[in-house]
A and B are shown apart, each in its own frame.
Chain A
Amino acid sequence: MNKITKICILITFSLLFISLSLCIMILFNASDDLTAKIYQNGELLYSINLDEIDEPYEIVITGEQGESNTISLRPGEIGITHANCPDKLCVNAGYIHNKLLPITCLPNHIIIQIEQSTNVNDSGDEVDGLAY
């Protein structure tokens, strides 16, 4: 085995190690007080606080070209339970409950992203005295 091969193996394993540790960080990072945001074409359609769900319910989102996704909400979790896209990747992603991995439906342009809830009282959108 020559030097170049050794360097190649070294680079491969370090890249694999880095990406694997990033994956593990993403999968095992959970927190609470979360809000699910449902985007279609980059537009925010719904913003739902996952901790305030008492009864499971469903939302149906339709698109311009007949796309349709059924989004199910359970206490602390959100997922897509039915979609008319061909690959069903979004349905197979199951329910998500942390802010790291979004559910994405590429054919229907839908992203469900969980974010940390911001406190309603100190509304971040308005300019406050400090900004002046």
Chain B
Amino acid sequence: MNKIRQLTLLSMFTTIALTIFVLESAIPIPIPIPGIKLGLANIVTLILILYWGFKEALIVLVMRIILGSIFAGQMMTFFYSLVGGIFCLIAMYLTNRILKQKTIWFTSIIGAICHNIGQILVALAILQSAYVLYYLPFLLVSGILTGFFTGLGAGFLSKRFPALKKLYTL
């Protein structure tokens, strides 16, 4: 793949992920537990892991989180998103390798669970209180449910857009 094409594609995917991220942050969540959200931007990460590569997914993820924190969030959420996102990425990459690109929804669930574990670890480090661990079961329930649906979303997307499957050959 030539450099310009690669740069353009990476920026395009970052833009898509960022748009989803900013739109999602405008959706109010009726549950008073910090850290719960839909995680729709994870669809982009998942697609990139499935059809392109780990490095590209990491670039888009980190760019999305940096820009997303500037556009939509407070800087405090930056560390939570970053550590959670990287945990999620590594977990999804490994799960995807084991499952050989099948059962995408399960890969997504594993990713969501690791995202929550990463968030809780950051909260433990920042707040210096073991009591934040009590949030973990609630985050896990929400992570499993939202992870399932974002995974299904990524699955449908790859069915409707067969061109995505040839990303790495461009």
Contact = CB atoms under 8 A, between A and B. Distances in A.
A-B pairs, top 5 by smallest CB distance, nearest first, are A22-B137, A19-B140, A8-B106, A92-B32, A42-B128
Interface string B17-42: 00000000000000011100000000
B6 interface: no
Contact of B33 (A16, A20, A89, A100): A89
B99 A4 contact: yes
Contacts of B137: 19-20, 22-23, 26
Interface of B: 32-34, 74, 76-77, 99, 102-103, 105-106, 109, 113, 123, 126-129, 131-132, 134-138, 140-141, 144, 148
B111 to A, nearest CB: 13
B109 A42 contact: no
Contact of A107 (B76, B105, B131, B136): B76
Interface of A: 4-5, 8, 11-12, 15-16, 19-20, 22-23, 26, 39, 42, 86-87, 89, 92-94, 100-102, 104, 106-107, 109, 111, 113
A113 B77 CA distance: 22
A42 B76 CA distance: 16
Given A23-B137, A42-B128, A104-B132, A93 B106 contact: no
A80 B37 CA distance: 22
A106 B76 contact: yes
Contacts, number: 76
Most chain A beta-carbon neighbours within 10 Å: one of B33, B77, B132, B134: B134
A4 B103 contact: yes
A12 B144 contact: yes
Contacts of B140: 15, 19
Contacts of A12: 106, 109, 144, 148
10 contacts: A12-B109, A15-B144, A16-B144, A19-B136, A22-B137, A26-B137, A39-B129, A89-B33, A94-B32, A106-B123
B103 A8 contact: yes
B129 A42 contact: yes
A2 to B, nearest CB: 8
B103 A5 contact: yes
A124 to B, nearest CB: 18
Most chain B CB neighbours (cut-off 10 Å) among A8, A94, A113: A8
Contacts of B126: 106, 109
A109 B34 CA distance: 13
A113 B141 CA distance: 23
Given A19-B137, A20-B141, A111 B129 contact: yes
Contacts of B123: 104, 106
Contacts of A20: 137, 141
B32 A109 contact: no
A89 B77 CA distance: 13
